[in-house]
Structure formats: structure tokens, C-alpha cells
Amino acid sequence: MKSITIKGSQRESVGKKATKALRNAGKVPCVVYGGEKPLHFSADELAFKNLVYTPNAHTVVVELEGGEKIDAVLQDIQFHPVTDRILHVDFYQLFDDKAVTMDIPVQLEGSSPGVRNGGRLLFRKRKLTIKALPADLPDFFNVDISELKIGGSISVSSLLDDKYAFQHPDSTLIVQVKASRNSVADDEEEDAEEGEAAAEAPAAE
């Protein structure tokens, strides 16, 4: 999985006054959990742009003054209810031998014959939660819908892998195609195409 580096400065004071002063200076107070003790630091609000405002999933390298680097994942983020400014960010430290839970985006590929026939594509799960070792975290899940007909669906069971554990039931729907008023049954269209082909073919002598 791709990583984003966030440069920060370790915080000595974590009181309300210090936190307010940081925010006034355009900084975001942050905490990294999961190690021997919580690590408090601050970083520029702009540093979170590519981590927060994106549909992609990333791990994080927290780079502190002095060269210390900590691998982590975004755990929680708090926004101001009015301005939407980032108020606080929690990270969880990564260790090579310790599984971590993370939301992974789903990407659809291919063209659904059910949609071509007028069906409605319902994208039920745009992200899937998995638990895996850091080295086994995928950037995204590819779901092929090129054979998805009207009434068809694709569930989590199609993505099972020994490298990670889904935090959803196997039957959880990811994507499905439902009939609409203007939809044509896939079998009817196939029969029509075969009939047209037969009509166009020259008669045997």
C-alpha cells in the first residue's frame, strides 16, 4: 500500500491553551497510539490534504524533527462542525507482525450487460473493512462487473483471500443490478440478437 509522509513536531504541552494556540497557527494536534505510550505531535493542516480528501487508502509515515519516523494508519479524525477544519487526528502505529483494521476502497471495472439493457447498477459497498498485516494491505479491491446481468450481484465471498480477513459477512453485497421499467431481460436480448443473426445469414441452397 502507498504511504503518505506527514512531517510533524512533537508536542510537550497537550493542554487546551496549547491546543488552541496550535490551531490558531494553522497546525493540527495529533496523537499516535499503539506504541509503548501515546505520542503527541502537531502538523500543518495542509499536510493532510492528500490523506483525508481522497477516496484512496494510504498508510502514513509520521516524520518528526530529529529524523524519527513512525509507520501508522489514520484511526480517527475530528472536524469543526461549522467550518469543516480539521480539529484533531488520531493515528495507530503499525508493526510488521501485528494485524491492523483498515477501510479499503472498491473499484468497479468492466461494463455490465445488465446496465446496457436498462438495469440500475447499485454500488452498495464503496469501501470494505479488512484486518491484515501491514504488508498485506491492498491499495483497493477490483470488482469485475462485465458479466453482471439484471438481477445479478457480487458479494464479499468473491474476494476472500488468506492474506486478510473481511470484517463483513461473506454474503455482504458489494454491487448488484436491479431491473427498471425500461430494462430488457438479458436472455430476451440474447435471443433477439441470435434471431437477427439468423435472419441476416444467407439461406442454404
Angle among Cα 19, 21, 24 to the nearest 5 degrees reads 110
Give the pLDDT score at 197.
45
Give the pLDDT score at 199.
45
Distance CA 63, CA 194 (A): 63
* Strand pairing category for 141-144 and 153-155: unpaired
On whether the pTM is more than 0.85, the answer is no
**Cell 510533524, located at residue:** 8
- Residue partners of 6: CB distance under 8 A and separation at least 6: 43, 47, 48, 51, 60, 61, 62, 63
Give the pLDDT score at 24.
85
Give the pLDDT score at 198.
45
* Spans of the chain below 70 pLDDT: 183-205
Q: Which of 47, 161, 160, 59 is nearest to 102 (CA)?
A: 59
Which residues are bridge partners to 121 per DSSP?
A: 177
What are the pLDDT digits (tens) for 50-81?
898 888 999 999 999 888 999 999 999 999 99
